[in-house]
Chain A
């Protein structure tokens, strides 16, 4: 289970992270989940072997401040999130502008829970049999 989680808002994020950095933590990663109407971002930090998390709800369309000024290590994962979830991250040290993992012809924000990308077994009507088994379009 996820313990040691602290809820946070986007405007307080960078300040809070600077505090965490001051306490000698290591930046681990960021996890993004699409909740339908908002993105759920969890920032993970390692405090001498213990994990700490900051949790952020970001409504669709809102921009996310970058951590790369505080922690350069965040720049890679922020670019990945920008590509895969279509979140605009502002102020990144290196900004690939959505071309980090994806190419021009790739689907936009493929990891969001939208119809049309791959076959989602959960949205299929119950009448449909399992015959058309779930499959990735990748």
Chain B
């Protein structure tokens, strides 16, 4: 900690390096907070603690191996990354994915969204000091991880999406089990979520903290739940990729307050929305093949967008007609939400900083790739 009392600052300002190791921040993000007493006046981010150069490795591997590589951009929403990548390559190579594969993709994508949101809700409860909720929510999350292990073969790194379809099929028994697990999860959440939504102390910690107005959210390029909590109805599932178009479309969940509480409510409500999507996808799943063979090499460039649990995920893929890609670039949602975070922090209390940072659900590993 360093205290400056130069003439540039009329009052005594303190600079606190917040992170990269911090008890409530599981991500290697450092924020240099300039404080005036307990009030934050400025925040400067410093990242680069886990830059892995994944985009560069993607140019060295062939485009099929990259499916497993891009999946490892993020350790929470891995399936979303492989899905986006596969959709990009499929668009480049004009592959028509069978309808059954598209529905299965929705099932796994929405299960991933649910487990990611539960993880987030748990972490944020931990950040505002409600350890019990954290454990309860993660206990519920475990059911989803287990069903993913049973259906896809791994708890997080599903490796189940491939170019041209999916690698595993679900039989009727497994689908019935997915539905059973969803019912169980929703039943258990019924007991826990009212506390998260209505508890006096929770509201005291979250309401009115970290305000982001709709104009600012748009201006700073916020995406996903951060933007939706400020009333911007932006959800890329509306474009109907995978089977979302066949499942009756998506109405974005929005809140208007733009504070931490609204951002958490978005996730709570999206949990139910996602469960509904899994049910619909399983109900409407057509019979048929789960993958088509893919021949040739990708050529040309494409930009794919998808809604990941944290917001809009963008992959730019440029092929050159060989097995290697010319350029692969990922813009993850946290990257887009960082400017919004820097805007939320000034003016808040030091004690609220962890909650505000967590409310955008930061994933620094995917930000740096």
Contact = CB atoms under 8 A, between A and B. Distances in A.
Q: Do A and B bind each other?
A: yes
Interface string A117-133: 11111100000000000
Contact of A111 (B46, B55, B92, B331): B55
Interface in B27-75: 44-48, 51-53, 55-57, 60-61
Given A44-B303, A102-B51, A134 B339 contact: no
Contacts of A49: 234, 238-239
B51 A134 contact: no
B335 A77 contact: yes
Given A118-B57, A136-B56, A33 B318 contact: yes
B220 A121 contact: no
Interface stretch (B2-10, B119-127, B273-281, B319-327): B319-327
Contacts of A135: 60
A1 B329 CA distance: 15
B269 interface: no
B301 A2 contact: yes
A53 B91 CA distance: 18
Contacts of A134: 60-61
A118 B52 CA distance: 12
Contacts of A103: 48
B157 to A, nearest CB: 18
B221 interface: yes
B56 A117 contact: yes
A49 B45 CA distance: 29
Contacts of A17: none
| B: interface residue count bin | 35 or more
Contacts of B259: none
Contacts of A71: 219, 221
A29 B327 CA distance: 15
A128 to B, nearest CB: 15
Interface in A61-87: 71-73, 75-77
Nearest to B312: A28
A19 to B, nearest CB: 16
A12 interface: no
Given A28-B221, A94-B44, A118-B57, A33 B327 contact: yes
A120 B220 CA distance: 37
A12 to B, nearest CB: 22
A99 B51 CA distance: 12
Interface of B is mostly: mixed
B60 A136 contact: yes
Q: Dominant SS at the A interface?
A: loop
Contact of A29 (B44, B46, B335): B335
B270 interface: no
Find the residue from A32, A53, A76, A120 having the highest chain B CB count within 10 A. A76
Contact of B302 (A1, A111, A119): A1
A31 B322 CA distance: 21
Nearest to A75: B339
A98 B202 CA distance: 41
A14 interface: no
B302 A138 contact: no
Interface in A24-55: 26-29, 31-34, 42, 44, 49, 51, 53
Given A94-B44, A100-B48, 9 more contacts: A28-B221, A31-B331, A33-B329, A49-B239, A73-B219, A73-B220, A111-B53, A118-B53, A136-B60
Interface of A: 1-2, 26-29, 31-34, 42, 44, 49, 51, 53, 71-73, 75-77, 94, 99-103, 110-111, 117-122, 134-136, 138
24 contacts: A28-B314, A28-B336, A31-B327, A42-B316, A49-B238, A72-B219, A72-B220, A73-B336, A77-B331, A94-B44, A99-B48, A100-B48, A101-B368, A102-B48, A111-B53, A111-B55, A111-B56, A118-B53, A119-B60, A120-B60, A121-B60, A122-B324, A134-B61, A135-B60
The 8 closest A-B pairs by CB, nearest first: A73-B221, A136-B57, A101-B48, A29-B331, A73-B339, A33-B327, A138-B53, A27-B221
